């Protein structure tokens, strides 16, 4: 992916995702233990604050996590964490202990912050579905060096009752997630969806133009011409790679751009014009179909939340 297109895509992703994080518990385990956020039908996260452990997912090799690594499960998936690479190792029934008072070495155990994500709206689902089932944040990755400060802040908030974490932990985890999303948009290899389109050379220039000029007259014929394909070949190839027909993809992209403009303070009329709609009524119908709310109502909800 070209650097300019990669940055444009990253900005589009960050402006499209709406989420709420909730921290379930923050503390440490010692001895044999097992932890999981499965069976809740939610995306979830595990941040390793100190020590080491292993992520076990059926059918996959154990994934070792070290201090200040994190794993974000983008959708419901069977899994558990344990201190052993052997998924069948003896499991104890110890409760989670407070992080406060942990000492260096084996007695400190593994410090964890675990919780859930709820992605809001169709637009977020479109973006999230482009990613693999889990993303890993590695403390040693130079591209993620900025996340060290977030781990410091999470640790500063994590010394109380393991079952009653500070609300700030969830907000800090959200920031960490957005850093990881931006990084993953430039690195991950996926089979289908938005990121797959961005990673295919024949579609990079077109995707860049769609993101820059969502309100242009993007007919199927014009998009096909931009990638030097026949109309039929373009529709087939685009749908196979992107997971959506070009017209549906364009509609979602436009409504994502419109929602971003509304969040930035544009009026409904300005947002509609930006994405190529001359009729406010037609824009409102399209926006509600994709976002789930009328643009005026969506804008009022933003003001109320602010």
pLDDT of residue 70: 96
- Of residues 103 and 55, the one with the higher pLDDT is 55
Positive or negative CA dihedral for 62, 28, 68, 103? Answer: negative
CB 65 within 8 A of CB 73: no
pLDDT of residue 231: 95
pLDDT of residue 9: 65
Residues 6 or more apart in contact with residue 287 via CB below 8 angstroms: 255, 258, 259, 293, 294, 295, 298
pLDDT of residue 224: 96
Instruction: Using pLDDT thresholds of 50, 70 and 90, give the confidence band for residue 282.
Output: very high
Q: Taking Cα atoms as reference points, which of 82, 11, 25 lies closest to residue 53?
A: 82
CB 65 within 8 A of CB 74: no
pLDDT of residue 20: 87
Report phi then psi at 134, rounded to 5: -145, 150
Residue 247 tokens read as 């017209």
Indicate whether 304 pLDDT > 90. Answer: no
Helical pair 246-263 and 295-305, crossing angle rounded to 10 deg: 40
pLDDT of residue 221: 96
How far apart CA 242 and CA 239 sit, in angstroms, is 5
Residues 6 or more apart in contact with residue 279 via CB below 8 angstroms: 272
pLDDT of residue 192: 60
Indicate whether 278 pLDDT > 50. Answer: yes
Indicate whether 155 pLDDT > 80. Answer: yes
pLDDT of residue 306: 56
Instruction: Using pLDDT thresholds of 50, 70 and 90, give the confidence band for residue 105.
Output: very low
Assign 3-class secondary structure to the chain.
CCHHHHHHHHHHHHHHCCEEEEEEEEEEECCCCCECCCCCCCEEEEEEEECEEEEECCCCCCEEEECCCEEEECCCCCCEEECCCCCCCCCCCCCCECCCCCCCCHHHCEEEEEEEEEECHHHHHHHHCCCCCEEEECCCCHHHCCHHHHHHHHHHCCCCCCCCCCHHHHHHHHHHHHHHHHHHHHHCCCCCCHHHHHCCHHHHHHHHHHHHCCCCCCCHHHHHHHCCCCHHHHHHHHHHHHCCCHHHHHHHHHHHHHHHHHHCCCCHHHHHHHCCCCCHHHHHHHHHHHHCCCHHHHHHHHHHHC
Q: Taking Cα atoms as reference points, which of 120, 117, 127 lies closest to residue 12?
A: 127
Q: Which residue has the tokens 């558990």?
A: 80
Backbone Cα Rg of the chain: 22
Is the pTM of the predicted complex or chain greater than 0.85? no
């Amino acid at each position: 992916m070209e650097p300019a297109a990669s940055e444009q895509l990253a900005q589009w992703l960050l402006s499209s995702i709406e989420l709420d994080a909730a921290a379930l518990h923050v503390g440490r385990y010692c001895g044999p233990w097992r932890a999981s956020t499965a069976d809740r039908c939610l995306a979830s996260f595990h941040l390793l604050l100190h020590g080491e452990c292993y992520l076990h997912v059926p059918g996959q090799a154990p994934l070792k996590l070290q201090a200040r690594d994190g794993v974000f499960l983008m959708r419901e998936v069977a899994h558990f964490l344990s201190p052993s690479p052997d998924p069948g190792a003896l499991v104890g029934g110890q409760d989670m202990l407070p992080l406060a008072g942990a000492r260096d070495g084996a007695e400190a155990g593994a410090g964890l912050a675990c919780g859930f994500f709820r992605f809001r709206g169709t637009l977020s689902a479109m973006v999230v579905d482009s990613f693999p089932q889990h993303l890993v944040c590695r403390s040693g990755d130079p591209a993620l060096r900025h996340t060290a400060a977030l781990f410091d802040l999470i640790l500063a908030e994590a010394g109380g009752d393991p079952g009653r974490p500070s609300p700030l932990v969830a907000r800090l985890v959200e920031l960490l997630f957005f850093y990881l999303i931006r990084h993953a948009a430039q690195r991950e290899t996926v089979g289908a969806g938005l990121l797959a389109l961005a990673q295919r050379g024949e579609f990079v220039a077109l995707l860049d133009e769609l993101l820059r000029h969502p309100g242009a007259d993007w007919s199927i014929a014009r998009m096909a011409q931009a990638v030097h394909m026949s109309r039929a070949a373009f529709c087939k190839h685009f749908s196979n790679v992107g997971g959506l027909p070009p017209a549906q993809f364009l509609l979602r992209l436009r409504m994502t751009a419109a929602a971003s403009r509304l969040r930035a303070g544009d009026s409904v009329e300005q947002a509609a014009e930006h994405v190529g709609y001359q009729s406010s009524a037609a824009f409102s119908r399209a926006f509600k179909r994709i976002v789930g709310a009328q643009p005026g109502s969506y804008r009022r909800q933003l003001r109320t939340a602010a």
